Structures are given as C-alpha cells and as structure tokens.
Amino acid sequence: LSKAGDMAKSGITALGKGMAVAATSVATAGAAIFGFTTKTAETQDRVDKMSQSLGLSNEKFQEWDYIMAQNGASIDSMKVGMKTLMSDTTSTQGAFSELGLNITDSMSKEEVFEASVKALQGVEDNTKKAKLATELFGKAGTDLMPMLNQTTQGTEELRQRAHDLGLVMSDEAVANGVAF
C-alpha cells in the first residue's frame, strides 16, 4: 500500500506540474491573442481616423497607404498636401489647367487626388512634373515624386497587390476595430 501510495503521489505531482505548464501556455497564448487583437484594433482605428482626415474612403486610404509606402513616401505626410490640393488658389487652379483637369465642386477629395496623380504620372518632363506636384501638394509633392514617376499601370498593379495580400480591410472590419 505504501508503494502504491508513493506511485500515486508522484503521478499526482507530475500531473500537477503538467497542468501548471499547460495553464502557463494557455495564459501566454491568451496574452498573445489579446496583444494581436489590440494591435489590429489600433491599426483599424488609424485607418478610420486618417481616412476621415484626408477625405478618403477607408478602402482608398489603405490602397494609397500601401502604394505610397512601396514608393518611399508616407500617407501620413499627405495631410498638408491634401489641404493644398483642395485649396482654391491661383496656383492649384493653374496646375489643374496645365494638366488638362476640370475640377468641379461636385468632385470628392478622393476623386480630385486620383485625377491629379494620374495626370501627373502622364507628364513626361520631370521638371514640369515636380513644379506641378509642388503647386498641387505643397511640400508633400516632392515626397510623392517616386510614385508620380511611375506609370498609372504600375500604380494600379500596386493597388491590386494590396488587395491580393489582404492588406485592405473592409469598412465593417475597420468599424469593428474602432468599436473594440
């Protein structure tokens, strides 16, 4: 009986140690999942706030964020650039005219931005392109030059790649992250 008791005691001790290891593993996994969820929610909140700030839809913000990052630029620096783009000044109006763009009041910021980028990508003279980009986007225009120097097809391929890689979240996913 004593020997059986000792065996049972060591089995229970081993079981207790195993359960402690399992509990630690579960706690660690839970913390990792919570950390991942929190980081994802922070990203979704950034998408929501920045897209509103720039006047872009959540989807377009995420696409342009990826496109710019692939070209060494940051969409975060576009806040001032978007203000300049949407200002009704002689400089911006002149740049729109030079690019052959007819910008109307009914166009959204998103539409004006995309039309401007496409038009600038079609300018072959790099000096003229840089001048027009600065007139339209202010200092941010120089940051955008690598993107503006590529073709519209290259930009569309990057936009599609962002979707293919699963980097563009749905409006519902962004809203859920903001609520979290």
Rounded Cα gap, residues 61 and 174, in angstroms: 12
Element (H, E) at 152: helix 152-164
- Phi-psi region at 102: left, alpha or beta (left = phi > 0; alpha = psi -120 to 50): beta
C-beta neighbour count of 50 within 10 angstroms: 18
pLDDT digits (tens, 9 = 90+) for 59-101: 999 999 999 999 999 888 888 899 999 988 888 999 999 999 9
Mean pLDDT of 36-51: 76
pLDDT of 65 reads: 95
pLDDT of 117 reads: 96
pLDDT digits (tens, 9 = 90+) for 17-27: 656 555 555 55
pTM: 0.74
pLDDT of 23 reads: 54
Name the DSSP letter for residue 106.
T
Asked if residue 4 has pLDDT above 70, the reply is no
pLDDT digits (tens, 9 = 90+) for 113-158: 999 999 999 999 999 999 999 999 999 999 999 999 999 999 999 9
High-pLDDT (> 70) share of the chain, %: 77
pLDDT of 80 reads: 84
Structure tokens at 154: 């290259």
